[in-house]
Structure 1
Amino acid sequence: MTENYIGWDIGGAHLKAVLLDSEGVVQAATQVYCPLWRGLRELEFAIDHVLLEFNANRHAVTMTGELVDIFQNRREGVLKIAGTLTSKLQGEVRYYAGRHGFVDSTALDRHWADIASMNWYASVQYVAKKLPKAIFVDIGSTTTDIALIDNAAPQVDGFTDAARLQSDELVYTGVVRTPLMAVAQKVPFAGQMTNVAAEFFATAADVYSLTGDMDMAGNMAETADGADKTIEASACRIARMIGRDAEDAPLSSWKALAGSFKEMQLEQIRQALLKHMSLLKDDSALQLVGAGAGAFLASELAVRLELEYHAVSEFIAAIDHETRDMAAICFPAYAVAYLCVGDAGESA
């Protein structure tokens, strides 16, 4: 019997799933909006949606969703998410525990801290198999993961969100859900600097809709006001960030304002990258690998930092280009499935 693997990445806002065959070739990949903060039923619905299309007898799971505030703490989050998956999935289910490899459900309580928010490490482990020296940047809907790779091995300081936030290996900024008040406190508009409202009026998705970097397919989250995701609606939301209405200026002005927010988000990530690059004794031959929904920002950062750029999709084997590109957006799910395929082969 042919063995298929599904890699699952359970986030707080999205569930990502990638189906691999036993050779590690992607057969399908998908991202499902899953607002987990509303309850575990959202996760159940998202899993059911994936299982309507994907069929596999082996599963590899990683997660960050344990951080949502329906859980009293991260341990409870890991155990309840894992319990939901174990009850829904047929066949072997293994959980990625970072440096400890894969564990089954019997070891969840012992390894919950190793499982919590470890999806980034699966990605870095995979990229390290492909490039001996690189800086990996995964810019997602909510956060940005940064990790150095040297001598074909991850060179990271933190293995918890708390430690990674301190070391700038986790930068809490993304291209969809990040509120614009978290991107900048002042922005230029009509020749003057203006303060930004500390209100949840608009998100990064509005910025990248207006700049043309992201289409509606890449924006699965709800808007700040619950309204449409059109260019005009994004202009209304971004105008509120500086106390105005969209009618106060032409659309070109709101697109320019979006460009200013984009520059400030790019600079935030660039500063973190410079910090990590300074740790290398020799940064010659360093390459930047970009992943996630915001990979378009990673490619721009590579140009500014004068680094050779690789989209992570270059390292993914898939049945077609469209499937490969979706697997790149869901890269931690792909990486954890691939590592599980390899782990199974070594154990055989």
Structure 2
Amino acid sequence: MTETTSSPQHYLGWDIGGANLKVALVRPDGIAVKVIQVPCPLWQGMDRLDAAIDLALAELGGPGGAKHSVTMTGELADIFPDRASGVWEIALRTHAMLGSELCFFAGASGFVPLAQVQQHANAIASANWLASAAFVATKLQQGLFIDIGSTTADFVLLHDGRPVNRGQTDAERMQHEELVYTGVARTSLMALASRIPFAGQWQNVAAEHFATTADVYRLTGELDPAEDMAATADGAGKSMDETCRRLARMVGRDADDADKTAWVHLAQAFRQQQLAILRDAVLCNLSRNVVRPGAPFIGAGAGVFLVRELAQQLGHEFLAASSLLKAESDQARNWAGVCLPAYAVANLGITANSQERAC
């Protein structure tokens, strides 16, 4: 007599970062039910991951009968001596908390069980971008996929329905402008410019962690409050007055030295500096001549609004990644676009399971 096993009722995709944990609850037909993001300051200790997982499961209603697919970038947190150790520690902890119905995304090697994590550690490390790009490539033949998150930006060219990245590791991708450490929440403003225009003249920027890009996009009104999860540079609140105070420090001022209009203009100047960094990466990737002129930019992440602007500036079509996926509600669709690696890895897990390639 042959033993049969029931199919999972749901799939959970986990994107375990060093600052945030993103989770997607997805039906077996690929439709997103609920997608969430919770803070996970992993550099403060592994107990933060425990708390984030517990909170996520509680918000999702503790779905039973689920199969879990995991991708990560949290192995880069400086509580670990090296990336391989981080991958292993995170894998052990998630396995202990989520159970045996758990697979880890290892890029071209597919999904692997806990027993194979150490031998595939390099492929598992920071592979969340590949999960997203591989999913988007199933929907489009060519384009430039851009995911701008809280901390980093990913750039992946798509051609003939597959990612055609040059780099694989973080180091290689940074070398090829496929990974840029700039994001819309956690990036220190001193990383964007050494000089900035203010009060009618150019002046030096303080090389201090006084303010972050979240302050910029809070003032421009582009950062969704629900996605504004990162701690502020001074540990204070996120009101407009507190935001202006932090921004003023970047140019050696107090908030009372100018009116709010001046601080909004300063925020817009920093915004343009970040756009220039992103635009350079886009142009470098496009110079490979892999995609046709005007090929779509597919935008994801909390900074999708910047992808839209880059497409407009450079004469390319813009597509929101959220428009390519299926969801039960607009809210789930929007959050799946923000947390695309979590949704993507869940869908890749569904495909692997249907083709009996799951771990």
Structure 2 distance, partners of 1:54, 1:186, is 50
Q: Which residue is equivalent to 2:3?
A: none
Structure 1 distance, partners of 2:82, 2:284, is 31
Give the SS at the match of 2:117.
helix
Segments of 5+ residues of structure 2 without an aligned counterpart are 1-5
Q: State the TM-score, normalized to the length of structure 1.
A: 0.98
Moved more, 281-290 or 179-188: 281-290
Structure 2 distance, partners of 1:282, 1:38, is 42
Asked if 1:212 corresponds to 2:221, the answer is: yes
Q: Which residue is equivalent to 1:134?
A: 143
Structure 2 distance, partners of 1:47, 1:282, is 39
Give the SS at the match of 2:21.
strand
Conserved? CA contact 2:248–2:255, under 8 Å: yes
Moved over 6 A (4+): none
Q: Which residue is equivalent to 1:124?
A: 133
Q: Which residue is equivalent to 1:30?
A: 36
Give the SS at the match of 1:336.
helix
After superposition, residues 1-348 of structure 1 pair within 5 angstroms as 3-52=9-58, 53-56=61-64, 57-280=66-289, 283-284=292-293, 286-347=295-356
Q: Residue 90 of structure 1: CA displacement? A: 3.0
Segments of 5+ residues of structure 1 without an aligned counterpart are none
Give the SS at the match of 2:288.
coil
Structure 1 distance, partners of 2:287, 2:123, is 28
Distance 1:202 1:340, change over 3 A: same
Q: Residue 180 of structure 1: CA displacement? A: 0.2
Moved more, 249-258 or 274-283: 274-283
Conserved? CA contact 1:93–1:104, under 8 Å: yes
Structure 2 distance, partners of 1:109, 1:12, is 20
Q: Residue 317 of structure 1: CA displacement? A: 0.5
Count of matched residue pairs: 348
What code does the residue aligned with 1:87 have?
Answer: A
Q: Which deviations, in whole Å up to 9, do the C-alpha atoms of 1:49-92 show, x marking residues without a partner?
A: 11122414200000000001100110110000000100000341
Structure 2 distance, partners of 1:301, 1:293, is 15
Q: Residue 217 of structure 1: CA displacement? A: 1.6
Structure 1 distance, partners of 2:230, 2:123, is 28
Q: Residue 285 of structure 1: CA displacement? A: 5.0
Give the SS at the match of 1:304.
helix
Q: Which deviations, in whole Å up to 9, do the C-alpha atoms of 1:185-239 show, x marking residues without a partner?
A: 1100011001000000000000000111113222101100000101111100000
Conserved? CA contact 1:148–1:155, under 8 Å: yes
Identity %: 47
Q: Which deviations, in whole Å up to 9, do the C-alpha atoms of 1:284-306 show, x marking residues without a partner?
A: 35110000000011111110011
What code does the residue aligned with 1:78 have?
Answer: V
Give the SS at the match of 1:347.
coil
Structure 2 distance, partners of 1:282, 1:264, is 26
Structure 1 distance, partners of 2:114, 2:83, is 17
